[in-house]
Structure formats: structure tokens, C-alpha cells
Amino acid sequence: MESHKSKESLASSTASSRQVDVFVQFSGYKNWLKFFGERVALFVYLLTAAGYTLSGFYALATGKSLAGVWPYVIWIVIIETLFLVTLRVMDDLKDVDTDILAHPERPLPRGLVTAREASFVVHGLVLILIANGIALAIVKNLASGLLCIATTGYYYLMFKEFGCGHWLSARPILYVITHQLVVLLMVLLPVATFWGASSLKGILAWHVALLQFGGSFTFEVCRKLDPTAHVALSTYLVAYGKFKTFLMILFAVAIGAWASYVMAVEIIMWPFLGFLLLSVLVLFAGQRTPGTPLAEGEKAPKGHKTVELICTLITLLTMYIVPIKLWSGVPKTAMRTF
């Protein structure tokens, strides 16, 4: 135990020394391009950004097409992509201590770029996003501009762990909820941009956001089901065990199921969500005890990768199910109202 603590202390002090490193020599643009090439899945980010943007538009489209709003569609997709890029750099910088132990091959732990440079990049991206929020408020409407700035602010609070990082880390369920709520803001941004502040009072605006929240929440948990994950990562499976982790997934799926019902896409979504839950149950039934390391020569388990892939595809469907429904010719009034 003492040896383990001493290793963590050494890793922490190493990370801290890197974080206070000054710009004696810039890492170079090539290194930063390599950083983004390794850590930023640009195609996935664009796909996610487009899904949120189109869902925000079509949730209240009522027969209207994208004709005439393409400049705003492109603008919002760029902003949403910048949100995701900013989050990526923030997470890498925030998790550098943990990555030294669990993922030393990543750019920051191995010294490809410095933590100080990453901090400058984070704050530069934050300023760019705030500038876009101000521009949206002037060019489009105040609600969209405020939502852009609010989303940026929430991301920054996540970066700072809301000022209570150690307290949150000891409560993984609360941690994942607080870090997924930002999805609501990301989806409400295009809703406000295309339909104005009054649209935010409608049930459909909030339920299309809840649909994406449920999908993102489910993916966040399902992508961390490796029972042999390093203890320093504090994954939900290792921290809570199989039963509580399944309850977290069930809670997230229930949110998505309810939202898909309100958006009248449950006939498509519910079978997929049910299949995901069944896949998780099958995985957990045959899975080793979480947190137990591999024995020498033992092959790493792969079943969790299959569940992660299934969840990824379902999350992608969640992002585009509302646009797909309307593109398919289903009556525009098929959304439920109460």
C-alpha cells in the first residue's frame, strides 16, 4: 500500500512540475498538429455537432425546410464542434496526473506538448466561443447568444470540477450527471438559434434535448465497462460494481426512452434500447470481477468493446432519429403534445 501511494505521489509531483513548466521553448506547431491528430476525432465531432444542430432544427420544424438557414446551420455546427474540441483539450489537461499512471502514451504525459501550452489553448478556445456567443446575440437573437456563452461557462466549470473535484470524484454518479447536463445546453442552442427564445418554453425543445442527454449519458457509462481498467481511472464499473453500474445505464436508457416517446420515435428507439440493456446483462453475467488485474499471460477481455460499439451506434441513431423521421415523410405533427 505504501509503495502504491509513493508511486502516486511521484506521478503527481511529476505532473505538477510539468503543469508549472514555462515556455522556455515552444513545442512546435507540428507537435500540436500531432496532438490534435491523436486526440481529436474531428469526423466524430462534426457528426455529433451536425446531429445536435439538425435535431434542434427539426424538433420544431413544422413543415419548414433548411432552405434559407444554411449559413446558421454551418455556424452552429462549427460552434458545437469547437465545444467538443475544447472539452477534449480540457479533459487531457485536467486528467494529466491520472494519465501518467494509466495512459502514459498520451501526448501530455509523454511530453509531446506542455501543460502550460494546453492551458493557453483552452483559454484561447474559450475566448473564441464567447466571441461567437456575442456575435450570435447581435446577429440572431439574445437567447442563442446567451446559451452559447452559458455552455462555454459550464464547460469551464467542468474543467475546474465545479471547485469541488475531490468531493465529486468520490461520488461517480453525481459526477457523471453534472458532466452530462451540458448536453442539454448544447441542444437547446440550435433550438434557440432557429426558433427564438419563445421556443424554449415548449415541451419538444426540452425533450429533444433530453433525448440527446439520455444518449450521451448511456454512452459515457457504456464506454467504460472494461473490468481490468486501471484503478486510477475510477471507472463506474470498478467504483460501483456491476449491479449499480447497470442501474446507472438503466436510468440513462429510461430518460432516452421517455424522450423518444414524447418525440414519437419510440417505435424505432425502444427495440434498440432494449437490445442494449440485454447486451449489458449478457456481458455482466460472464464478466470477471471488476478491478481484478490480468494474470501473467492472460488475454484481455473484449466483450465490453462489443457493448461499447452497440452503444455508439445507438447514440448515433439518437442524434439523427428526429431528422430521419421527418426526412422519411412522417407527418410533421406526429410529435406528441400534452
Domain boundaries, the chain: 29-193, 202-292+301-338
Residue 11 has pLDDT above 70, yes or no: no
**In the chain, what is the greatest distance between 2 CA atoms, to the nearest angstrom?**
66
Structure confidence at residue 44 as a pLDDT band (50, 70, 90): very high
3-state secondary structure of 129: helix
- Encode pLDDT of 198-228 as tens digits: 999 989 999 999 999 999 999 999 988 888 8
All three cell numbers of 214, joined, read 439520455
The neighbour count for residue 160, using CB atoms within 10 Å, is 12
pLDDT tier for residue 51 given thresholds of 50, 70 and 90: very high
pLDDT given for residue 93 in this prediction = 95
Give residue 232's pLDDT: 65
Determine the Cα–Cα distance for residues 287 and 296; give it in Å rounded to an integer: 18
- pLDDT of 163 strictly over 80: yes
**224, 237 contact by CB (below 8 A):** yes
State percent of the chain over pLDDT 70.
Answer: 88
CB–CB of 182/158 below 8 Å? yes
DSSP assignments along 27-65, one per residue: --HHHHHHHHHHH--HHHHHHHHHHHHHHHHHTT-TT--
The residues, ordered by sequence, that sit 6+ positions from 254 with a Cβ below 8 Å of its Cβ are 214
Q: From CA 271, how far away is CA 257, in angstroms rounded?
A: 10
Average pLDDT of span 25-44: 93
How far is residue 295's CA from residue 293's CA, in Å, rounded to a whole number? Answer: 6
Residue 267 exposed, middle or buried by CB count within 10 Å (0-12, 13-18, 19+): exposed
Average pLDDT over residues 323-338: 66
pLDDT in tens, 261-308: 999 999 999 999 999 999 999 999 988 888 777 777 677 788 889 999
- pLDDT confidence tier of residue 336, bands split at 50, 70 and 90: low
More confident residue, 200 or 173: 200
Q: What is the pLDDT of residue 15?
A: 45
Compute the average pLDDT of residues 316-333: 81
Is residue 13 left, alpha or beta, with left meaning phi > 0 and alpha meaning psi from -120 to 50?
Answer: alpha
Is the pLDDT reported for residue 124 higher than 80? yes
**What is the structure's pLDDT at 3?**
45
pLDDT at 81: 98
d(CA 272, CA 239): 27
Number of H helices, E strands in the chain: 14, 0
Q: What φ, ψ does residue 302 adopt, rounded to 5°?
A: -125, -5
Q: What percent of the chain has pLDDT over 90?
A: 66
Q: What is the pLDDT of residue 24?
A: 54
Q: What value does the mean pLDDT take over residues 104-110?
A: 93
In whole angstroms, give the CA distance from residue 123 to residue 121: 6
